[in-house]
Structure 1
Amino acid sequence: MENGIFIGGGGADYAEPQHLLLNYANRHGLIAGATGTGKTVTLQILAESFSARGVPVILADVKGDLAGLGQSGSEGFKLHDAFMDRAGRIGFSDYAYRSFPVTFWDLFGQKGHPVRTTVAEMGPLLLARLLELTEAQEGILNIAFRVADEQGMALLDLKDLQALLVWVGENRKDLSLRYGNVSTASIGAIQRRLLVLEGQGGDKLFGEPALELHDLFLTDDAGLGRINILAADTLMQSPRLYATFLLWLLSELFEELPEVGDPDKPKLVFFFDEAHLLFEDAPKALVDKVEQVARLIRSKGVGVYFITQNPADVPDDILGQLGNRVQHALRAFTAKDRRDLRHAAENYRDNPRFVIEDAIREVGVGEAVTSMLERKGIPGMAERTLIRPPSSQLGPIDEGTRAALIAGSPVAGKYDRTVDRESAFEILQARAAQAAAEAEEAERAEEEAEMAEREYRSARRYSGARVSRSSSRSISSRSRSSRSDSVGTAFAKSFARQLGTQSGRAVVRGILGGLFRGR
């Protein structure tokens, strides 16, 4: 089909060939099924098909299997005969082995190009979700972001946020009058969560150079869309970090891309694997935001496909917007499993040739109940479909091949080195240094005044010399002026003097955050 991508068919036994129409591919989709039923292969063949039509793709490689997209399948593969047999059964006459252009990304910078964002770009809502903050703690985080904006302090990495939170704590009385209560207990809780995040490797997510979105929309010289593969096998050890990062990326696409209406094909397709992690214990505000993004991002030419074990993992309001569906087998061992199975079957258009609930329970590995949007966006009738075999390598690639693909990437070298420009941490550090210098100057001036006073008294006591009334008046005036200054700025001078002494240096560390003493 000219304007569609081939998903599979049913051979001579049943089912019409299934095609995903490109002009409806941005109406989103769902790939669901129990573990081991073929979800990953379905994701792989969809990524191949979109790439072949010039559509860039973003996906997460949770198990390391999808790296094979960058290398061609081969006749020596043990499933070669099975692949060829299936291609023949479903009428896939154009089937051939080939590789696809890939760009590897890795938050930790080990299996791909480093991918970063800044604390400011992440924003308080997603950071609060990432740190699992309470409503009160999220409020303080919002205050910190507001202060940073008002004072022109860039929030780039975790040390910026940590330093700013300490400053907020030091100035909590003034800030509480303006923004509401700022408690040290809540600030301490946020700082502890930041330490945990740092220990999980989350500090590598924040910094510069930040990811430029246009690097996700590249095509190769032949016009094939590049498949952006995020290495997530290590990242999945911190599931909240994984889900929040992908949600941030999706929200950035939503915010930055212009409206394009209904294009002939998507500008980008985004696959969200392990989608249940996005919605587990998610506050309503976050679910509402995801729903808004899913509803509106299609008009910006982006298709979003959720991959999860059970359709029940996705809230109904979002599930209702997923027009293209591939449902692999679901098991029904418990009462809850049977309820979920009925719920999954109810989301399909009935087919008089079979009972959908039975079909979802009975389909084998590599087989699915599918429903694709038809002309005018009407949901297609449910069909039992044998999924087409992949053209690229099934399974992981060796480290040498991965290194070669990374070195040949169009963004090679662009994100490798971090840049630490002036931001909140450096600004607060400079302010503390300036305060220390001013404190030393004030202390020096006061000591000089006190010394002059002592010299005057000593001269009267031991020499009996008559000091001119004008000199006495001048010295006394200087002393009184110094004392008057000290009284008038008692808090500032006292605090500043501390900054200039050995104990003052400890206060400087307090301003910048005691968390950094061990650095």
Structure 2
Amino acid sequence: MSTKEAFFAHIEKGYTAKGDTITMGAAMLEGEAVTNALVKVPLKTLNRHGLIAGATGTGKTKTLQVIAENLSDKGIPVLLMDLKGDLSGLAQPSPGHPKIDERHSKIGIPFEPKNFPVEILSLSEQDGVKLRATVSEFGPVLLSRILDLSVTQEGIVAVIFKYCDDNKLPLLDLKDFKKVLQYATDAGKKEFTKDYGRISTSSTGTILRKVIELEQQGADLFFGEKSFDVDDLTRIDENGRGYINIIRLTDIQDRPKLFSTFMLSLLAEVYSTFPEQGDSDRPELILFIDEAHLIFKEASKALLEQIESIVKLIRSKGVGLYFVTQNPTDVPDAVLAQLGLKVQHALRAFTAKDRKAIKLTAENYPISEYYDTKEVLTSLGIGEALISALDEKGRPTPLAATLLRAPMSRMDVLTDSELNAVIGSSNLVKKYNDVIDRESAYEMLNEKIEKAEKEAEREAERSSSRRTTSSRRRSTRQNPVIKVLTSATFIRGVLGVLKKVIR
């Protein structure tokens, strides 16, 4: 048996699955694709999370696009974070190209242009389905993690939430939270001290400043109603294909706190509402987090622990998380260890630090008799990647340098008219884009303070009136001493004494 035949058998055996799969491309040997040596990933293991990494321009976004398309075709909904604005083309079919035909001929699978059901979502003022959550839904623990609060400050946030629960004050947006925070150390100080203990003004001042910082990154647009129902991410179209939900994040790249706030809120909501799946044959939802370093870059230790915990637990709900970043070292080791599928595009070694990173990356992959992993990592071309997955029994598959298939949809952005057509036909836009500002903690406390102030004014007026009346009574009543001195009895007595003296 020749080396090529042995390699083909090696790949075929390692990537054979009894259940449904998605095809990534064909394995490569000595820099050339081995036709029909197909690299397939079982749907059963896609909730074990994954990583798509590689230097700029090596094809990470197109790999993401390929996986999303194949999942949609299998009836599995997808959520994509689009920070660069180049994923909306999924809504239109690929125009095709001779180089694409040549690539697929080498792989051994036909190329079929397709468009996919797409929903455009937005966290900011950009057009699309508005994603919102109330402060109450966010909860005191997650809010404290995002604000990076101390233990004492976390306790105050918990008290604020408890007070609102006890007094039926809806916490919907950040102005509600700020109002209760101010009330606790101002007009409502006695009320809070009596029922919940004294609250330090310096601590509430610190919390307030951190809330304002969050607002400045645009979080005031995120907190509020109508809350987005995460079940709407799992829709299937009339042809049985999963919706590809694309969140436009092009205008918040420089606001990582808002991005991480949204991500943690979404993951927490998905985890709390999705039912347990057990050992399912297919995932319920796959989330791709592009530019993943933005989540981890400025995250506190407490926030990282929260992310790690969610990554470990959420796969039992049938949800897979895929991190897209330039270097695997951008992802914390505790998270990296949870990722079953790794698609590693080329890395470039320009510095000693780069060479060290390549060495560390190579050690994350299974040893292969067919590849020198460190060498392959720097020699991969555009649209080529090292792939390591899990088989249906959860075992690592053989390492495969892969010529990746091309996206079936357009590898470019939609025009403004095309984008408007997608948004205009959305049922979710009609459901979520009307802003609701119902009576909540802000209005209720303002009303309570106003009533208290009016009552205080009336009491002050009554007190003033009583003082005035009392003063008038004192002015018209004769002084007792003067009264005695001017009385007839007193005068007569004095005159009698004087007469005796004279005599």
* TM-score clears 0.5: yes
Q: 1:440 aligns with which of 457, 477, 485?
A: 457
Tell me whether 1:92 sits opposite 2:109 in the alignment.
Answer: yes
Q: CA deviation at 1:120?
A: 1.9
CA distance in 1, matches of 2:313, 2:471: 78
Q: 1:60 aligns with which of 68, 71, 81?
A: 81
Q: 2:427 aligns with which of 381, 395, 410?
A: 410
Which residue in 2 is equivalent to 1:295? 312
Which residue in 2 is equivalent to 1:217? 234
What amino acid sits opposite 2:297 in the alignment?
E
Q: 1:203 aligns with which of 220, 224, 229?
A: 220
Q: 1:245 aligns with which of 262, 275, 284?
A: 262
Tell me whether 1:102 sits opposite 2:114 in the alignment.
Answer: no
C-alpha contact (below 8 Å) 2:58/2:345 kept by paired residues: yes
Secondary structure, in 3 states, of the residue corresponding to 1:412?
Answer: helix
Tell me whether 1:227 sits opposite 2:244 in the alignment.
Answer: yes
Q: CA deviation at 1:174?
A: 7.3
C-alpha contact (below 8 Å) 1:137/1:190 kept by paired residues: yes
Q: 1:154 aligns with which of 157, 166, 170?
A: 170
What amino acid sits opposite 2:371 in the alignment?
F
C-alpha contact (below 8 Å) 1:50/1:225 kept by paired residues: yes
Superposition pairs of residues 263-274 of structure 1, within 5 angstroms: 263-274=280-291
C-alpha contact (below 8 Å) 2:291/2:325 kept by paired residues: yes
What amino acid sits opposite 1:52 in the alignment?
D
Q: CA deviation at 1:451?
A: 4.9
Which residue in 2 is equivalent to 1:484? none
Q: CA deviation at 1:443?
A: 2.9
C-alpha contact (below 8 Å) 1:68/1:392 kept by paired residues: yes
Which residue in 2 is equivalent to 1:114? 130
Q: CA deviation at 1:194?
A: 2.7
Which residue in 2 is equivalent to 1:49? 70
CA distance in 1, matches of 2:301, 2:466: 64
Secondary structure, in 3 states, of the residue corresponding to 2:223?
Answer: coil
CA distance in 1, matches of 2:313, 2:207: 33
CA distance in 2, matches of 1:239, 1:427: 33
Secondary structure, in 3 states, of the residue corresponding to 2:89?
Answer: helix
CA distance in 2, matches of 1:34, 1:176: 56
C-alpha contact (below 8 Å) 2:28/2:401 kept by paired residues: no
Tell me whether 1:141 sits opposite 2:157 in the alignment.
Answer: yes
Secondary structure, in 3 states, of the residue corresponding to 1:161?
Answer: helix
C-alpha contact (below 8 Å) 1:6/1:20 kept by paired residues: yes
Q: TM-score, normalised by structure 2?
A: 0.85
What amino acid sits opposite 2:135 in the alignment?
V
Secondary structure, in 3 states, of the residue corresponding to 1:353?
Answer: coil
CA distance in 1, matches of 2:214, 2:176: 14
Structure 1 gap segments, 5+ residues each: 462-519
C-alpha contact (below 8 Å) 1:5/1:49 kept by paired residues: yes
CA distance in 1, matches of 2:199, 2:356: 46
Which residue in 2 is equivalent to 1:394? 411
CA distance in 1, matches of 2:465, 2:152: 50
C-alpha contact (below 8 Å) 1:22/1:264 kept by paired residues: yes
Q: CA deviation at 1:287?
A: 2.2
Secondary structure, in 3 states, of the residue corresponding to 1:156?
Answer: coil
Which residue in 2 is equivalent to 1:483? none
Which residue in 2 is equivalent to 1:279? 296
Q: CA deviation at 1:440?
A: 3.1
C-alpha contact (below 8 Å) 1:18/1:372 kept by paired residues: no
Q: CA deviation at 1:354?
A: 1.2
Cα gap change, 1:125 to 1:357, in 2 (>3 Å): farther
Secondary structure, in 3 states, of the residue corresponding to 1:235?
Answer: coil
Q: Which moved more, 1:118-127 or 1:65-74?
A: 118-127
Cα gap change, 1:437 to 1:198, in 2 (>3 Å): same
Which residue in 1 is equivalent to 2:54? 33
Moved over 6 A (4+): 176-181
Which residue in 1 is equivalent to 2:184? 168
C-alpha contact (below 8 Å) 1:54/1:223 kept by paired residues: yes
Secondary structure, in 3 states, of the residue corresponding to 1:368?
Answer: strand
CA distance in 2, matches of 1:438, 1:177: 21
What amino acid sits opposite 2:161 in the alignment?
F
Cα gap change, 1:194 to 1:289, in 2 (>3 Å): closer
Superposition pairs of residues 340-419 of structure 1, within 5 angstroms: 340-419=357-436
Over the matched positions of the two proteins, sequence identity in percent amounts to: 43
C-alpha contact (below 8 Å) 2:348/2:378 kept by paired residues: yes
Encode CA deviations 1:154-174: one digit per residue, 9 max, x unaligned.
211111011111112225687
Q: Which moved more, 1:239-248 or 1:322-331?
A: 239-248
Q: CA deviation at 1:279?
A: 2.0
CA distance in 2, matches of 1:263, 1:3: 12
Which residue in 2 is equivalent to 1:236? 253
C-alpha contact (below 8 Å) 1:371/1:382 kept by paired residues: yes
Q: CA deviation at 1:454?
A: 5.2
Q: CA deviation at 1:181?
A: 6.9
The size of the alignment, in residue pairs, is 456
Tell me whether 1:421 sits opposite 2:442 in the alignment.
Answer: no
What amino acid sits opposite 1:37 in the alignment?
T
CA distance in 2, matches of 1:96, 1:218: 24
Which residue in 2 is equivalent to 1:498? none
C-alpha contact (below 8 Å) 2:33/2:403 kept by paired residues: no
CA distance in 1, matches of 2:152, 2:470: 54
Which one has a bigger Cα radius of gyration? 2
Which residue in 1 is equivalent to 2:274? 257
What amino acid sits opposite 2:69 in the alignment?
E
CA distance in 2, matches of 1:425, 1:239: 28
What amino acid sits opposite 2:171 in the alignment?
L
Which residue in 2 is equivalent to 1:24? 45
